[in-house]
Every structure is written in structure tokens, then in C-alpha cells.
Chain A
Amino acid sequence: MTSFKDKGEYFTYPPVFIPRSFDVEHYLQGMKLGGTRGIRDSFIIAASTTLLSVALGSLAAYSLARFHIGGENLAFWILSVRMMPPIASILPLFLFFRSLRWLDTYQALILTHLLMNLPFAVWMMKGFFEELPAELEEAALVDGCGRLGAFTRIAMPLVAPGLVATALFCFMFSWNEFLFALILGRSKVVPITVNIAGLIGGHEILWAEISAVSIVASVPIIIIAIVLQRYLVRGLTLGAVKG
């Protein structure tokens, strides 16, 4: 947190906590070096991944939690997909996407991130759904609501805090992901993580630009976090519970 301010001096003694001058120039420079494109690309990928993961993941999670479909094994298999160390999957994925001619495209990265985020979303939501007593939905079903209705109108709103947390994390994982972004992207798709890493040159480290771009890169996430906060920390009572 200190280093956010270190735009003037870096390795000096005593450590400089407040820079001599708040130079806006570094921000502009950082943006020029591909920052804006980086943010745009990262955003497209992260947003898509998050939406897909949360939507599809919650559906699956609900099914797993309520109906215990596939038993333990299915749930575990879904999680195990995420356990694979990326190192091993990178070369096959690279070749896979290359044969589809999907290198350096958004869909390649979105799909790859789904590999990480879907299992995550499923298991997170599963945990939240399991926390929920089933009586509420039973009541709704008795009232004539279909399964899908019970899902969308009762269960989902109740796990809103969980939804938000999951969405936030999915977005973040995708936003901060580096390895796949580096290998599967090239010139048309350059997420911000690769961009920042590029500022760490062999002979010089552009600390100023790194700080600047990182701050700008963090802004979208912070905004999203603040917006979603309301749902995260909202109390539960939605007036539907009785007895």
C-alpha cells in the first residue's frame, strides 16, 4: 500500500513515503504503453467469464446441493478440473486453440478462465446453498412454483451475499490471471496483467508506471466491489421466512 505513492524515489534511504510531487505524467505514460487496451481486454474477458461462471455455476450448484445429483463423485470431478496445475495444461491448450485458430482471441481466454472459475463458482455456491434450509423452497413448491421458479425467486435472492462474493472472486481471478494471458494472447488480446509485467524490463523497472497502471487497473475492481458491497453485507431477512 505504501508503494502506491512511491513515484519519485524507490530505493533510497530513509524510505520515502510521500513522493516529492504527485506527477500525473506517469499515469499518462503508463496508459500510452498499452494500459488502456489492457484494461479493455481484461474487462471483456473477466466480465464474460464471471457472468457465465456465476450463472451456469449457480444452476449446477443448486442441483448438486439440493438433489445430490451424481452424488459425491460428480461434485468432486468438477472441483478436480481446477486442481490441475496450469503448467501441464498450457501446452495442450495452446495446441488445442491453435488448431481451432483461436489463438490471440477473446474466446480462447474466456474458455480457459472458465476452466478455473466454473468449478470455483459451482463449489462456492454449493456451499451457500447447503447452508440454506430447504423448507423455504418446499413451501414455494407447495404453493405451485416450479423448480426453476423456486430457484430463481427463493433460493438465489437468499444467497445473494454468496453470489456477490463468488462473482467478485471470479472477476478477480480472471482479471489478475497472468500465465494463460501471456501464452494464449499475442497482439490482439493483451490483458492488463501482461501489460504490467511488460513494464518490468530486463535492464530497468518502470516502478512509476507500474504503480500508476496498477492503480488504474484496480479501479474497476474496486468500483465493482463497492457497488456489490451493499448486497454482500446486507442482512438476510427478506420477509419470506416464517416458522
Chain B
Amino acid sequence: MRKKRISVVALLFVLPVIAILLAISIFPLIYSFYLSLCQWDIGTGASRTFIGARNYLRLFTDARLWGALQNTGLELLLGVGSQFLLGLALALLLNRTFRGRNLVVTLFLLPMMISPVVVGCIWKIIYHYQYGPLNFLLERLKLNSVNWLGSNQVSIYSIILADIWEWTPFVMITLLAGLQAIPDELYEAARVDGATRLGTFFWVVLPLLRPVMIIAILIRVMDAFKIFDLVALLTMGGPGQSSETIAFYNYLTGFKYFSMGYASSMAYLQLAIIVIIANVFLKSWKGREIS
């Protein structure tokens, strides 16, 4: 009897969200899936023609696509990885009260709060070979100037670096909020039980923080697939294709070349990849959950 009552209430709680999301997302999902099965090059004035799965086949032979995916993969490992580690470290550091903490936290929030367009502009200035502050500093330190944006070896790392600067605060704040939610009593209990600082960290803090860590990483992983502003403002994907991310290439295909069918299929490919990654991630982490 009680179980049924819970279910109704639970359902009610969840209903508004489901309703709204369903209403807005269902049409785009279906429409773009249909598009991905068509060839629609709006530029030529041709109309949609249904071509089945040919777009998907084309995906696999598109060298530029795989290059872009590679870059995105690099961002995932390096970028998200660094953001996580840095964010965790910073959150732990800031987890105690000290004077001026509010100010420090606000300052750290800045990179994230600035409009991405502006972040791009800022880094464009910083990375400038001749006039930028970075090379200026390097020169003063008697080191060689680095060709941040014009070298096909370095350009993708420049983008990743700017991305880390912009989004580590997100991870940091999320983890900080998570840390704040851990009751002090648990720390006490652990100490009473004779645990060391490190021990407490690994066996008490981390497990409790797990759900929050998962979401922080997942969100960043998903957003890594969307990196666009930085690329557009800093390098336009160049030189060659060295700093082109999948989102940028998708944008080009959809909005500059207006091959809507192909762009949609590319988007679905991305969706599939993200879904798989997310699934794997969730399963493997959840599996080790401590009750």
C-alpha cells in the first residue's frame, strides 16, 4: 500500500521535467534523424532526396572527420582530465574557511562567467606571437617564443589550454559544493576511528563525493564535444586541420556548406559516441558504489 503512494508522488515530481523535455526535444530529434537519411544541399536549390544510410557510409570515408574526432579525443583525455584533477585540487584547497575566501572563489569563477566570445578574444591576444603577453614573458625568461596559433603541432594544445582555463572553475565549484555537503560529523567519526588525513580522504571523502564527481566529469565530457567558440576565434581550425574539433567541422558542414543531411548524420554519430562513453562511464563507476 505504501509503495503505491510513493510511486504516485515520485511520478508527480518527475512529470514536469519529462513533459517539457519531451515536448521540445521530440521534434528536433525526429526531424534531424530524417534529415540524416537525406541529401539536402540547400545551397544548390535542390530539394531533399531520400538516400537512406549513404550519409553514414560517407562518414566513415571522411578523413577530415576522423582528424577532427582525434582532436576532440585529445581534448577529452588531456583537457577534461586536467580540468578534473586541477578542479579537485583547488576544491580541496578552498574547502576550509579563511579570510578572503569569498573573494578568491569569485575570482576563480571569472573565466567561466565571461562570455565565450570574449574568452576567445582574450586568448587571441595572449597567444599573439609578436605582441602577446605569453611570448613576451617567455622572451624575458630567455626562452624561445612559441608559435601558439600558427603551428600545426601546437595549435590544438593552445585550444585545450584555453579550454582548461575556462572550465576548471566549473569542476572546482561543483566539487566544492559537494565537499561542503559532507557533514563534519563524518570527519570526526573517522578521526575517532584513528584514520589518517590521507585515509580519510580516500575512504570517506572520495566515495561520498563520487556522485558529484561523476556528473562534473560527464558534463565536461559532453561539452568537450561542443567546443566551438574557441576554435572559431583562435584558429578557425587551422593550420590545415590541426585544431579542428568535431563540433567545428560539424558546424562548417551544416552552416557554411549547408549539407544539412550530412551534418545531421555527423551529429547522430557524435550522439552515439557520447551515449556510449557516458554509458560505459556510468556503469563502471556505479559498479563500485559503496552503500
Contact = CB atoms under 8 A, between A and B. Distances in A.
Asked if chains A and B are in direct contact (CB within 8 A), the reply is yes
B131 A161 contact: no
B17 A118 contact: yes
Interface string B233-277: 000000000000001001100110000100110011011001100
B14 A69 contact: yes
B136 to A, nearest CB: 5
A43 interface: no
Contacts of A85: 225-226, 247, 250, 267, 270-271
Given A3-B125, A69-B10, A192-B115, A88 B268 contact: yes
B112 interface: yes
A158 B250 CA distance: 42
Interface of A is mostly: helix
B117 A12 contact: no
A207 B250 CA distance: 29
A164 interface: yes
Contacts of A76: 278-279, 282
B126 interface: yes
Contact of B14 (A14, A59, A161): A59
A91 B260 contact: yes
Contacts of B122: 1-3
B113 interface: yes
Interface string A117-130: 01110111011101
Most buried by A among B31, B177, B214, B226: B177
Contact of A233 (B132, B176, B271): B176
A28 interface: no
A12 B97 CA distance: 42
B271 to A, nearest CB: 6
A81 B114 contact: no
A83 B271 contact: yes
A87 B112 CA distance: 22
A93 interface: yes
B88 interface: no
A139 interface: no
Contacts of A96: 27-28
B184 A87 contact: no
A161 B115 contact: no
B141 to A, nearest CB: 15
A213 to B, nearest CB: 9
B146 to A, nearest CB: 16
A93 B27 CA distance: 8
B181 A132 contact: yes
Given A59-B17, A83-B274, A229 B180 contact: no
B160 interface: no
Contacts of B133: 2, 15, 17
A88 B28 contact: yes
B280 interface: no
B268 A161 contact: no
Interface stretch (B51-59, B77-85, B98-106): B98-106
Contacts of A178: 115-117, 229
Contacts of B116: 176, 178, 193
A59 B21 contact: no
B21 A115 contact: yes
21 contacts: A2-B122, A13-B130, A15-B131, A60-B16, A67-B10, A69-B11, A79-B218, A81-B25, A83-B274, A84-B28, A93-B24, A93-B27, A128-B212, A131-B182, A165-B174, A168-B109, A169-B170, A178-B117, A210-B121, A225-B113, A235-B97
Interface of A: 1-3, 6, 10-15, 17, 56-57, 59-60, 62-64, 66-67, 69-70, 72, 74, 76, 78-93, 95-96, 111-112, 114-115, 118-120, 122-124, 126-128, 130-132, 147-148, 151, 158-159, 161-162, 164-165, 168-169, 172, 175-176, 178-179, 192-193, 196-197, 200, 205, 207, 210-211, 214, 217-218, 221-222, 225-226, 229-230, 232-237, 241
Interface of B: 6-7, 9-11, 13-14, 16-18, 20-21, 24-25, 27-29, 31-32, 35-36, 94, 97, 101-102, 105-106, 109-110, 112-118, 121-122, 125-126, 128, 130-133, 136, 170, 173-174, 176-178, 180-185, 208-209, 211-212, 214-215, 218-219, 222, 225-226, 228-229, 247, 250-251, 254-255, 260, 263-264, 267-268, 270-271, 274-275, 278-279, 282
